[in-house]
Structure 1
Amino acid sequence: MQEEGKETYFDADEIEDLLDSFEESDDYTLYDEVLSLGMRLHPNHQGLQIKQCKLLVYQEQYRKALKLIDSLNQEGDPEIDLLRLECLCALGKFAEARIYTEQLIDSECEYLEDIFEYIAPVLGELGMHEEALEYIHLGQAHFPDNIVLKEELCFNLESTGEIRKAIKICNELIDNNPYSFEDWTTLGRLYSMQGDYEKAIEAFDFALTCDDTDGEVKILKAYCLFMNENYQKALEVYSELLGIPDYTYRVKPLMAEAYLRLDNYEEAYRLLQDTLQHTREYEEPATYINYLLCCAKTNRLEEEQNTLEKALKLFPDHINLLYLKALYYTEKGLEKEAIETLQYILDHIQPDEVYINSLADTNFQLANIYLKKGEIKQALKNYLRVIEHFPSYPMAHLKAAICYLKLGDTQQFMEHITQCTDQEIIDFEGDYIPADSESNKSPLIELIKDYISKNKKDKTN
């Protein structure tokens, strides 16, 4: 009738049946259209008005929804009360929601347990974790054995970082239902969050006993195996997901990382090359960085350069990629270009916690270049920046000591040389130490080399 341009009529119950079927099938393609038709035909029908409220809440038009709810003036209807409380919470009116809940408690309404089960997750999804916890505890005071509230308590504790308490609650849930796939999965995730990978793996194994087809749990288990340095076993778990459309190219970069830890660069190269050739979904900096490492380790130098250029076009301000570019310039003897690239990182890139180590690497590499060029003061400035944020950065104190020695400051030389480890002094080869301009050899540097060669453990000598 729509296609023929004719007026369509359904009675209110038929409209409700249609809307219910959309909700059950989770297909809302025609939901708005059918509801609009129903409201035109039956504007005062309470069931359709409640559906209209639900739609407004779904569209996050909470003020309109609350206004419509108030106009209905219907008491004792569970759907209306649930929607009212959700709107109040979403609008930041938790105090009003709490008062209304207390009124429902006083009236001894029959659906009070449903109220707590519904609103506690809503508060959690809104990020109102303190209010959610308050609501959970209020609900548990009336329904101490309610599983939904206990599950919400577990998620709430996880969201607020109280992992140990969350684990305790999760174990109680498992005691109540030892065959719960969801609870075992949650327990594994919680253990992994606190770095207890052995217990996490055990929990994921129990989860997979309940349902051995869940790819997400397998990925989590493989991750824990990887973090536990069991790379071969991680590869076996990842391999189970190869050939499954939603997982094949998702796990290949993860498998490549495991192969890198096993020094199997050829296999890692094959996996990453296949991933980058067949999908752009995992075209990420980490994928390119690992691929570049594989190219370098397998002597694919031209491909390494081309890949680096491609990666920098996609991620022009990524610290690690820019750092690799600077290293490439350094290896080619292009010191000016290397310094410009490293200085660009320091001047323009604001690293987050993930890349803070790269900032130290950048300063250290820049200092090495300045030291090799004989620009001692500039080199020292960068070494001290490294030490300021990373006092135990390998070789930083040793290189700073050399700079001070070149500048004739023996007091600062001693200050830094005594903070070097024995192994650093043993490993030092002096590749970045420039000769003095007046001669091919520096007496001070020769003194250092003599000191190093004798490997004296008494660093005050």
Structure 2
Amino acid sequence: MKYSHDDENLSLTRFESMLKTNDILFFDSNEFENIIHHYLENGKIALAKRAIKLGLEQHPSSINLRLFQVEIFVIENKFEEADHILDKLNELEPNNEEIYIQKANVLSKQDQHELAIETLLIAIGMSGTPDDDADLFALVGMEYLFLDQFDNAIVYFKKCIEADTSDYSALHNIIYCYDFLNKNAEAIEYLNNFIDTNPYCEVAWHQLGRQYFTIKEYTKANAAFDFAIISDDTFVGAYIEKGKVLEKLKRYEEAIENYKITLALDEPTSFALLRIGHCYEKLSKDDLAVQFYKKTVEDDPLLDKGWIAITKFYMKRLNYQKALFYINSAVNIDGDNVLYWKLYAIVNKRLNFLEEAEHGYKRTLQLGNYELDSWLNRSDILIALGEYHAAILNLTEATEFYPENAEIEYRLAGLYFTTHLAEKGRFHLKNALHLNKDYDFILTELFPNIKQKPVVKAIISDSKNTSN
């Protein structure tokens, strides 16, 4: 459907005035189409439905108004009603491509993507202009994407580009398909061919740079982003990507320059602020690094990478009090972020705040971080706190994820001997020695008194003599 925006504001004003006064005013069908289109674009479905109803009362034979009615039914998932109208319209105008497009839309919404493609191909056969073909080719491409048929999708997105070289969404979709198929070489070849005929297409240069970045051809990536910037010197994305390439090339001062250009061109982004901080840290300009890390978390308090960066910055410099201040701030903002709790636990452990560290590891486990280190570190802290039964429970849970693990078995052996459950201690110690004899130092470190028990020494000695 084609829409005219001439006098749209006047038509809308008259229409809304009519709704308020209950006066009946006449609008031609094009005016109704513009009004309905406006409401649909702005998500005002109830007003769109009112306009369709009044429009059909004044223009009962309008195909386009009926097609809008179909759109509403699709939005409301009333597919049978939509089909019913489309079948009637098809009888009236069997060569109207828009009817087939809407039919394909109905089929697509019901996950009947193969039938949607067949229907769109019929519409393409009826289409009279290249611009219409471009839109239809793009729709077919999207249906193939829904089916995960990326090679077929590429074919139709390429047809879309051939019909309309300015359709950058189709270009993005082609590269998305190549990326999914890990066909970087084919993507690069296609983009280079495209650029031969569209040398000032900043989007193509940008995509080409990203492909070279993926395959670690950083010099070529840098050149491609340069051309993207030459084509459009306000292209924020190109400066960002160029900054990332320059970081890989260890040209940190230049990377900072590019990130700072983005701050001048647009609202500062937390990503650019964070990268500037990283670059200053690499250049050992600590004051500037901290300044930009702070700006990052102020700009976007929900960006976990910002809090993690500033916490790790202070950890590397052994300033655990400052690190604790920032990771505490992060945890207070988002108490369900497992990365925060893992760092919280590590920082508190370094400060010998064992109860807080244990709580941190407990939260990481509750939030689904089942890495072996999380289980082991928590148990070691519980042992240090004398919470032996809690440590046993923790390690017993860990065995569900790591059933044959010597580090867990040695700890369980030590704990059971410590809590005077010698039979269980012997069982786990034999398991541990069977799995890895060289890890018996765990007993020495965590349970030095247990290691000296005659029964423990005998089991270790027997195991090592047996292996000899």
Say yes or no: TM over 0.5.
yes
**Contact 1:265–1:297, Cα closer than 8 Å, also in 2:** no
Task: Report the Cα offset of residue 72 of structure 1.
Answer: 0.8
Q: Does 1:254 align with 2:266?
A: no
Q: Does 1:276 align with 2:294?
A: no
Distance 2:258 2:156 in 1: 43
Q: Give the equivalent residue in structure 2 for 1:423.
A: none
Task: Report the Cα offset of residue 64 of structure 1.
Answer: 4.0
Task: Please say which of residues 310-319 and 360-369 is displaced more in the overlay.
Answer: 360-369
Task: Report the Cα offset of residue 212 of structure 1.
Answer: 1.1
Assess, with a 3 A threshold, how the Cα gap between structure 1 residues 144 and 350 changes in structure 2: closer, same or farther.
Answer: closer
1:346-385 map, 5 Å: 346=365, 348-351=366-369, 359=371, 361-362=373-374, 365-366=377-378
Task: Please say which of residues 129-138 and 311-320 is displaced more in the overlay.
Answer: 129-138
CA RMSD of aligned residues (A): 5.1
Assess, with a 3 A threshold, how the Cα gap between structure 1 residues 313 and 97 changes in structure 2: closer, same or farther.
Answer: same
Deviation digits for residues 257-308 of structure 1, max 9, x if unmatched? 333333433222222323434x4x4422221122223455678765543433
Q: Give the equivalent residue in structure 1 for 2:346.
A: 327
Deviation digits for residues 329-350 of structure 1, max 9, x if unmatched? 323334455345335534x232
Assess, with a 3 A threshold, how the Cα gap between structure 1 residues 221 and 17 changes in structure 2: closer, same or farther.
Answer: same
Assess, with a 3 A threshold, how the Cα gap between structure 1 residues 273 and 58 changes in structure 2: closer, same or farther.
Answer: same
**Contact 1:192–1:200, Cα closer than 8 Å, also in 2:** yes
Q: Give the equivalent residue in structure 2 for 1:425.
A: none
Q: Does 1:53 align with 2:65?
A: no
Task: Report the Cα offset of residue 180 of structure 1.
Answer: 1.3
**Contact 1:326–1:341, Cα closer than 8 Å, also in 2:** yes
Assess, with a 3 A threshold, how the Cα gap between structure 1 residues 135 and 56 changes in structure 2: closer, same or farther.
Answer: farther
Q: Give the equivalent residue in structure 1 for 2:327.
A: 308
Distance 1:226 1:128 in 2: 36
Task: Report the Cα offset of residue 312 of structure 1.
Answer: 1.6
Task: Report the Cα offset of residue 235 of structure 1.
Answer: 1.3
Assess, with a 3 A threshold, how the Cα gap between structure 1 residues 4 and 109 changes in structure 2: closer, same or farther.
Answer: closer
Q: Give the equivalent residue in structure 2 for 1:265.
A: 286
Give the alignment partner of residue 206 of structure 1, picking from 227, 234, 242. 227
Task: Report the Cα offset of residue 197 of structure 1.
Answer: 3.5
Q: Give the equivalent residue in structure 1 for 2:463.
A: none
Task: Report the Cα offset of residue 187 of structure 1.
Answer: 1.7
Q: Can you give the 5+ residue segments of structure 1 that lack an aligned partner in the other structure?
A: 418-429, 441-461
Q: Does 1:10 align with 2:27?
A: yes
Deviation digits for residues 134-186 of structure 1, max 9, x if unmatched? 3664797x999556698454443334443332222222222221221221122
Q: Does 1:44 align with 2:61?
A: yes
Q: Does 1:163 align with 2:181?
A: no
Distance 2:291 2:312 in 1: 13
Deviation digits for residues 106-132 of structure 1, max 9, x if unmatched? xx5353866763344335546425456
Distance 1:187 1:437 in 2: 64
Give the alignment partner of residue 111 of structure 2, picking from 64, 82, 92. 92
Assess, with a 3 A threshold, how the Cα gap between structure 1 residues 155 and 176 changes in structure 2: closer, same or farther.
Answer: farther
**SS of the residue 2:60 aligns to:** coil
1:24-39 map, 5 Å: 33-39=50-56
Counterpart of 2:303, as a letter, is E
**Contact 1:167–1:187, Cα closer than 8 Å, also in 2:** yes
Assess, with a 3 A threshold, how the Cα gap between structure 1 residues 236 and 51 changes in structure 2: closer, same or farther.
Answer: same
**Contact 1:269–1:291, Cα closer than 8 Å, also in 2:** yes
Distance 1:143 1:294 in 2: 49
Q: Does 1:191 align with 2:212?
A: yes
**SS of the residue 1:38 aligns to:** helix
Q: Give the equivalent residue in structure 1 for 2:236.
A: 215
**Contact 2:134–2:160, Cα closer than 8 Å, also in 1:** no
Q: Does 1:180 align with 2:201?
A: yes
**Contact 2:188–2:208, Cα closer than 8 Å, also in 1:** yes
**Contact 1:123–1:129, Cα closer than 8 Å, also in 2:** no
Distance 2:161 2:254 in 1: 42
Task: Report the Cα offset of residue 97 of structure 1.
Answer: 3.4
Counterpart of 2:324, as a letter, is Q
**SS of the residue 1:333 aligns to:** coil
**Contact 1:266–1:298, Cα closer than 8 Å, also in 2:** no
Counterpart of 2:274, as a letter, is P
Task: Report the Cα offset of residue 328 of structure 1.
Answer: 3.3
Counterpart of 1:42, as a letter, is H
Distance 1:373 1:17 in 2: 73
1:421-440 map, 5 Å: 433=445, 436-437=448-449
Task: Please say which of residues 40-49 and 243-252 is displaced more in the overlay.
Answer: 243-252
Q: Give the equivalent residue in structure 2 for 1:426.
A: none
Task: Report the Cα offset of residue 252 of structure 1.
Answer: 1.5
**Contact 2:297–2:303, Cα closer than 8 Å, also in 1:** no
Q: In percent, how many aligned pairs have the same letter?
A: 19
Q: Can you give the 5+ residue segments of structure 2 that lack an aligned partner in the other structure?
A: 1-16, 415-428, 453-468
Assess, with a 3 A threshold, how the Cα gap between structure 1 residues 285 and 77 changes in structure 2: closer, same or farther.
Answer: same
Q: Give the equivalent residue in structure 1 for 2:152.
A: 134
Distance 1:39 1:162 in 2: 51
Counterpart of 1:91, as a letter, is Q
Deviation digits for residues 409-453 of structure 1, max 9, x if unmatched? 999888679xxxxxxxxxxxx9x957944999xxxxxxxxxxxxx
Deviation digits for residues 37-83 of structure 1, max 9, x if unmatched? 32332233123223333455566665543332222122222322222
**Contact 1:292–1:308, Cα closer than 8 Å, also in 2:** yes
**Contact 2:73–2:82, Cα closer than 8 Å, also in 1:** yes
Higher-helix-fraction structure? 2
Assess, with a 3 A threshold, how the Cα gap between structure 1 residues 17 and 307 changes in structure 2: closer, same or farther.
Answer: closer
